[in-house]
Structure 1
Amino acid sequence: MVSHPPPWTADELAQAAGAAVVGDPGRTFFDVAEPATAAPEHLTVLLDPRHRDAVAVTQAGVVVAAPGAEAVRPDATWVLHPDPVAVLWVLAEWLGLAPVRQGLHPTAQVDPAAEVHPTAWVGPFCYVGPGVRIHEGAQLMGHCVLYGDAEVGPESVLHAGVVVYPRVRVGRRVIVHAGAVLGGDGFRFIPHPERPVKVPQLGRVVIEDDVEIGANTCVDRAFLGETRIGAGTKIDNLVQVAHNVSIGRACLIAAQAGIAGSSRIGHRVWMGGQAGVPDHVTVGDDVRLAAQTGITGNVPPGKVMAGSPAVERALWLRIHAFLRELPRWLEKFRRWDRMWGE
Structure 2
Amino acid sequence: MADPSFFPVATSLSFNEVASLCGLTLPEGADPARRVEGAAPLETAGANDAAYMDNPKYVAALAGTSAGLCFVSPRFADRVPAGTVALVTPAPYHAFAKLLATFHPQALRPASMFGSAGVAPGAFVHATARLEADVTVDPGAVIGPGAEIGAGSIIGPQAVIGPQVRIGRDCSIGAGSTLQSALIGNRVIIHPGVRIGQDGFGFAMSPKGHMKVPQVGRVIIQDDVEIGANSCIDRGASRDTVIGEGTKIDNLVQIGHNCVIGRHCVIVSQVGIAGSSTLEDFVVLGGQVGLAGHLTIGMGAQIAAQSGVAGDVPRGARYGGYPAQPALSWARESALLKQLVAKRGKTTGGDESA
Instruction: Identify the TM-score tier after normalising by the shorter chain.
Output: 0.7 to 0.9
For residue 41 of structure 2, what is the aligned residue in structure 1? 34
SS at match of 2:319: strand
Q: Tell me if the contact between 1:214 and 1:238 (Cα under 8 Å) persists in the aligned partners.
A: yes
Unaligned runs of 5+ in 2: 350-354
The one-letter amino acid paired with 2:262 is G
For residue 352 of structure 2, what is the aligned residue in structure 1? none
* Post-superposition CA distance 1:237-284 (Å, at most 9, x none): 111100000111111111111110011111111111111110111111
Unaligned runs of 5+ in 1: 336-342
For residue 67 of structure 2, what is the aligned residue in structure 1? 60
Decide which of 100, 116, 131 is 1:88's aligned counterpart. Answer: 100
Shift of 1:76: 3.7
Distance in 2 (alpha carbons) for counterparts of 1:236 and 1:26: 38
The one-letter amino acid paired with 2:103 is L
For residue 154 of structure 2, what is the aligned residue in structure 1? 139
Distance in 1 (alpha carbons) for counterparts of 2:118 and 2:327: 52
Distance in 2 (alpha carbons) for counterparts of 1:98 and 1:90: 16
Change (3 A) 1:331 1:18: closer
Distance in 2 (alpha carbons) for counterparts of 1:91 and 1:111: 38
Decide which of 134, 159, 176 is 2:190's aligned counterpart. Answer: 176
Shift of 1:32: 4.7
The one-letter amino acid paired with 1:34 is P
Distance in 1 (alpha carbons) for counterparts of 2:98 and 2:36: 20
Decide which of 318, 324, 330 is 2:338's aligned counterpart. Answer: 324
Change (3 A) 1:175 1:80: farther
Distance in 1 (alpha carbons) for counterparts of 2:132 and 2:98: 27
The alignment's TM-score, normalised by the length of structure 2, stands at 0.81
For residue 273 of structure 2, what is the aligned residue in structure 1? 259
Distance in 2 (alpha carbons) for counterparts of 1:41 and 1:124: 43
The alignment's TM-score, normalised by the length of structure 1, stands at 0.83
For residue 75 of structure 1, what is the aligned residue in structure 2? 83
For residue 126 of structure 1, what is the aligned residue in structure 2? 141
Shift of 1:4: 7.7
For residue 199 of structure 1, what is the aligned residue in structure 2? 213
Q: Tell me if the contact between 2:296 and 2:313 (Cα under 8 Å) persists in the aligned partners.
A: yes
Once structures 1 and 2 are overlaid, which stretch shifts more, 5-14 or 168-177? 5-14
Distance in 1 (alpha carbons) for counterparts of 2:186 and 2:137: 17
The one-letter amino acid paired with 1:128 is I
SS at match of 1:191: strand
The one-letter amino acid paired with 1:105 is A
Distance in 2 (alpha carbons) for counterparts of 1:169 and 1:195: 34
Q: Does 1:219 find its partner at 2:227?
A: no
* Post-superposition CA distance 1:200-248 (Å, at most 9, x none): 2110000111111111111100002100011111111111100000111
Q: Tell me if the contact between 1:47 and 1:84 (Cα under 8 Å) persists in the aligned partners.
A: no
The one-letter amino acid paired with 1:169 is L
Decide which of 168, 171, 176 is 1:156's aligned counterpart. Answer: 171
Distance in 1 (alpha carbons) for counterparts of 2:163 and 2:88: 46
% of aligned pairs identical?
A: 34
Distance in 2 (alpha carbons) for counterparts of 1:104 and 1:12: 42
Equivalent residues in 2 for 1:330-341, closer than 5 Å: 330-331=344-345
Shift of 1:304: 1.2
Distance in 1 (alpha carbons) for counterparts of 2:322 and 2:7: 50
Q: Tell me if the contact between 2:320 and 2:327 (Cα under 8 Å) persists in the aligned partners.
A: yes
Change (3 A) 1:73 1:8: farther
Distance in 2 (alpha carbons) for counterparts of 1:133 and 1:319: 54
* Post-superposition CA distance 1:103-150 (Å, at most 9, x none): 222222111111111122222211111111111111222221101111
SS at match of 1:196: strand
For residue 120 of structure 2, what is the aligned residue in structure 1? 105
Distance in 2 (alpha carbons) for counterparts of 1:302 and 1:164: 34
Q: Tell me if the contact between 2:68 and 2:83 (Cα under 8 Å) persists in the aligned partners.
A: no
Change (3 A) 1:48 1:114: farther
Decide which of 126, 129, 141 is 1:114's aligned counterpart. Answer: 129
For residue 238 of structure 1, what is the aligned residue in structure 2? 252
Change (3 A) 1:122 1:235: same
Q: How many aligned positions are there?
A: 331
Decide which of 51, 57, 62 is 1:45's aligned counterpart. Answer: 51
Distance in 2 (alpha carbons) for counterparts of 1:274 and 1:7: 37
Distance in 2 (alpha carbons) for counterparts of 1:143 and 1:80: 46
Decide which of 316, 327, 340 is 1:302's aligned counterpart. Answer: 316
Change (3 A) 1:231 1:218: same
Shift of 1:75: 3.0
